[in-house]
Every structure is written in C-alpha cells, then in structure tokens.
Amino acid sequence: MRQPVDRYVDRLLRRRRPKPFAPTEDELSVLRAAIDLSAAAPDAGEPRTAFVEALRERLAERARTDQDAAEPPRPAWRAPARRRILAAGALTAAGAAAGASVDRMLGGGNAGSAAASSQTPPQTEITPTHGTWQTVLDSADLPEGAVLQFDLGAVNGFLRRVSGRVQAVSGICTHQGCRLALDATHELLTCPCHGATFTPAGLNLTHPRPMSRPLPALPRLPVREQDGRIQIYAPSTTA
Amino acid sequence: MVWPLGGAMRAARRVEAADPPARQDGAASVPTRLPSAVYPDWDAIYTDNVGRIYRLMFSKVGNRPDAEDLTSQVFLTAYGPLRATAGVAQVRAYLSATARTVLAEHWRRTLGHQVTEIDPATDLEDFASMSPPPEDGRADERAARILRALPERQRQILVLRFLRGYSVRQAAAELGVSVANAKVLQHRALRAAAGLEKEGEAP
C-alpha cells in the first residue's frame, strides 16, 4: 500500500527532503498537487536567517578568494620557457644578443598584455571625422523607456530614451565584434557568438569567461533630436 | 574592482545589523521601483534577491532543504558572470533564467521528469516586476484553487495536514475518524487534487 509516492508526500509533510524515485505520469500529478499545497503552508514564505547569512558568507568568501587570485604574479610556465630560450641562445656566438632581444620581446609582450587586461577602458565615444547627422527615427517612435535597434550601414546600435533624453550605443560586442541583438524582454543586448550581455546603457552585464574582468562598455554614439527626428552622427555611406 | 572587498561587505552588514527592522520587509534599501535602478555591489544583489529566489524555489519543490540547496546553487552559479554594478531588472532577469536551469537540472537528477518548472510568462513576470510581489503568491493561488474544487471532507484533511501541519493522528481526531480512515481520506484527496492539476494543464 505504501508507495514511493506516498513516502515522498510524507516527507514533504514532515518538512524533510524527499527521496528520488521513478514516478509515473499519475504520480507526477500527485506530486504537483502536494508541492502546491506544501508551498501554501504559512511557514513556507521566508528563508531562515541562518541560511541567508551562511550563503552570504560563502559568497563573500568566494569574492575574497577571487580577489587574491585576480593578480597572479606571472604564469608559472613563462619563466622556465624564457630561461630555456636564453640558455639555448648563450651557446652560439650571436647568442647573447639574440637572447637579449627575445627576452625584450617576451618582456615587452607581457607588460603590454598585462596593461591591456588590467584596465577596463571607460565608455568611449565614436565620433567620425567625416560624418553627417543622419535621421534614424521619428522622435515619436521612441517613447520613454523604449529601446530600439537601428542600422545606418557604417554604424549600427541601439537607441533608448531615459528621462526624456535619447542615448545611443554601438551595437557591436566588445568581446570579439559580433553584432548584438535585442532580447525578447527589450532589456538586454545579447551577443549571438559567445552569449555576452549588455545593458541598454552599454554596460557589460555577463560575459563568456566566468571570473574574468568585465568587457569594456559599448561605445556611445553622438545622437541628437531635431525637428521631431532622432539623428546619429555617422560617416556618410558614400565616404 | 568588480567585486566588493570582504571588508566592504562586512561594513555593509554592520549597517544592516544596526537597523534590523528595515531588513524584515524585503530589503527596502534597494531602489527597486526605478526601472533604471542599479545595484551598488554584489551584497545588494544578494540581499534584494535571496528571498525572491528562495520563495520561487520553495513554490516549485515544496520543502525547505531542497529550496535552500537550489537557492544556493542559483547564487553560486550566477555569482561569476553577474557584474555587481548592473541594473536591477537585468540582474533579476539573469537570476531567474539561472533559477529556471537549476530547477530543471534538479528534477532531471531526482525524479527524471520536469515535475514543476519556472514559467517565464507568470513566475518571471512576478519576479522581474519592479513592485513588491502580491500578498499571496502564485503557490497560494494554486493551492486555493485545488482546495475549492474538492469535496468538504477531502478539503478538510488537506488543510489540516498541509496548511496547519497536523499529524495524521491529530487530523484523525479533529475529523472524528480512525487513523486508518484519515490516511485513506488523505490518499484519495491527493489523487482527486492530482486529477484537478491534470485538468488545469489541459488547454
């Protein structure tokens, strides 16, 4: 008489963790009903303070660990490799000079990439030197809070209206240059290539490599409203 | 820096500790009403959303140990990709998308079927809305619908067992039946409720 499904329900009733089993379709409906009823119990609402604080501490601990790991002294494999090159070079007549230049190349490369990766450039503005103000939309078509995509050929991006003012950001992902799309909620710009997301203001929200630094923000585009039209300053298509 | 230092997080908690009443009503400190609002740091993301994710998960699994595990998984998974300085609406969209995946994986692992799922149309609308959630959530709504549709005796046993936390023995005493009868009554009530669930799913 006592089936696994009854035991599952029993454990829900005793506020315990239920045990896995292989339910039939009918049993699944029983479980759904039991879950709905359990979730309506008065003590179902809020998480325990102890749980909330323990998880907070766990996340904070991870933030600290990541902070420590964020600045590695130098990848371990580099130094031995450089020593190998130097050692090989020293055996030849021109070795000293060749070794030194290789060393400079490696050293310079390291410094350059370190500098590039340690900074997230501020949101820049794309301002073409030879451009014209080109109409992309009637002002009336962009209500407060809306986000819309536009494409002028040379530049494409997203328009939004915040507090009455129009802003425009580039529509090209700052990861590897794929073209961003507006998601179904009209609240996210998503990259089809690696799944990076940006806010309509251009800030990077998620990016393909967990735990690494955020991607640079999307560049802003010069935009103005004139005579009921929204215009972007962009290179003319004939240029 | 993308993530706040531990010291900053501890400082933020001290501030909260000094003002406990404000913590009770769902983190009133975060400006959730503005569509363009932005979280100042990870701790704010966590404080503002931990209750939402937990309630969402509880309504889908019906027990605390699982709800706590799944809530932890959502935050530990979302922690990496989510930037602290992001907009409130975007953070919630990301968290709820993560929750959806985590719940699906939980059911796949335990029962091998999608017993419940996070429905983008209803659950996420509640979740992402800028206003506080309605007094009685969707779970209460579903439970009330089930109970309304059942015969009186079946409704009574389910209310006593699930909503009042009565043991079988207590419920039997309350209803004036034997323990064995109470068990049978509960068994039939749940199957009747299951029938209603199935009807509800049909278009």
pLDDT digits (tens, 9 = 90+) for A121-165: 456 677 777 788 888 889 888 888 888 899 888 889 999 988 888
**B103-157: pLDDT as tens digits:** 999 999 999 988 998 887 677 666 655 444 444 466 678 888 889 999 999 999 9
Smallest CA-to-CA distance from A10 within A34, A33, A26 is with A34
- Chain B residues closer than 8 Å to A3 by CB: none
Extents of the domains making up chain A: 49-116, 123-234
Q: What is the dihedral of CA A193, A195, A201, A204, to 10 degrees?
A: -110
**β-strand partners of A198:** A189, A204
Strands A223-226 and A204-206: unpaired
**SS3 of residue B145 by DSSP:** helix
List all residues of chain A from 18 to 57 with a beta carbon under 8 Å from chain B: 18, 20-23, 26, 28-48, 51-52, 55-56
Alpha-carbon distance of B148 to A93, in angstroms, equals 95
Smallest Cα distance from B124 to chain A, Å = 11
A163-179 confidence digits (pLDDT tens): 888 989 999 998 888 89
In contact, A237 and A148? CB cutoff 8 Å = no
Stretch 77-106 of chain A: residues touching chain B, C-beta under 8 Å? none
Contact assignment for B190 to A22 by CB distance below 8 Å: no
Q: Which of A29-43, A73-87, B19-33 has the lowest mean pLDDT?
A: B19-33
**CATH node for A123-234:** 2.102.10.10
Assess whether pLDDT exceeds 90 at residue A216: no
What is this model's ipTM?
A: 0.77
Cβ of A32 within 8 Å of Cβ of B115? The answer is: yes
Q: Looking at per-residue confidence, does A192 or A65 come out higher?
A: A192
Which strands form A223-226's sheet, in the order they lie side by side? A131-138, A229-235, A223-226
What integer best gives the mean pLDDT of chain A?
Answer: 76
DSSP class per residue in A136-177: EEEGGGS-TT-EEEEE-SS-EEEEEEETTEEEEEE-B-TTT-
Residues of A in contact with B144 (CB under 8 A): 40
Q: Higher confidence at residue B10 or residue A86?
A: A86
Q: Do A28 and B111 touch (CB under 8 A)?
A: yes
d(CA B155, CA A38): 14
Which one of A38, A194, A211 makes the best mutation probe of the B interface by having the most chain B beta carbons within 10 Å?
Answer: A38
> How confident is the model at residue B85, as a pLDDT?
55
Which residue in chain B has the smallest CA separation from A203?
B86
The pTM of the full predicted model, rounded to 2 decimals, is 0.55
